């Protein structure tokens, strides 16, 4: 189910396992809204260990909707940086464009939308293929959930007492 996007949509997903596990939080919104203000502020305000970057399919080819990646974990070394500025970046970009190609994000709205994706990459992650695969799956699922409004309030209420958080 796709719909015209007016208000900001929020999505979350976890995929994979081990040190390469991917956890994605994202927001999708229209240009001219608070989402654009946050997008521009984040892009213009890098700080040590946290450098927002645009998702690109390849150099000189950003996604539509334009997508900003923000790392949740402080980058402390080159290995970690290369996993974000490489397999994770390519995976997020591919997931966004596959969602447009499949109609999850309406193609006729893609130019008017912005996405901010918070990416989690553990310090000891090493496997580039797993980082790419897990971040692709988590980003795609988070977008699908955001566009469908999942989980619903009823679903969250139904599971509030039985939920098992993997890191709690």
- Catalytic, 165? Answer no
Q: What number of residues does the chain have?
A: 168
Going from the C-alpha of 50 to that of each of 54, 84, 117, 118, 145, the distances in angstroms are 13, 11, 13, 11, 26
3-state helix, strand, coil in the chain (%, to 5): 40, 25, 35
For the chain, what is the total number of helices (H) and then of strands (E)?
Answer: 5, 7
Q: Which residue has the tokens 């890098």?
A: 46
Catalytic pick among 3, 4, 23, 165: 23
**Are the CB atoms for 65 and 57 separated by under 8 Å?**
no
Cα 1 from Cα 147, distance rounded (Å): 8
Q: Which residues are known to be catalytic?
A: 23
């Amino acid at each position: 189910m796709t719909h015209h996007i007016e208000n900001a949509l929020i999505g979350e997903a976890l995929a994979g396992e081990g040190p390469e596990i991917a956890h994605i939080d994202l927001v999708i919104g229209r240009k001219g809204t608070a989402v654009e203000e946050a997008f521009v502020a984040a892009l213009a305000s890098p700080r040590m260990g946290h450098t927002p970057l645009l998702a690109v399919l390849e150099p000189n080819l950003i996604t539509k909707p334009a997508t900003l990646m923000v790392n949740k974990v402080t980058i402390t070394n080159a290995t970690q940086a290369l996993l974000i500025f490489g397999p994770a970046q390519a995976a997020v970009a591919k997931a966004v464009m596959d969602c447009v190609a499949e109609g999850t994000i309406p193609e006729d709205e893609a130019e008017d939308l912005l996405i901010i994706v918070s990416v989690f990459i553990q310090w000891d992650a090493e496997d580039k293929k797993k980082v790419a695969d897990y971040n692709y799956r988590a980003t795609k699922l988070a977008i699908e959930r955001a566009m469908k409004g999942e989980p619903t309030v009823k679903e969250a209420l139904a599971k509030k007492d039985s939920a098992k958080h993997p890191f709690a």
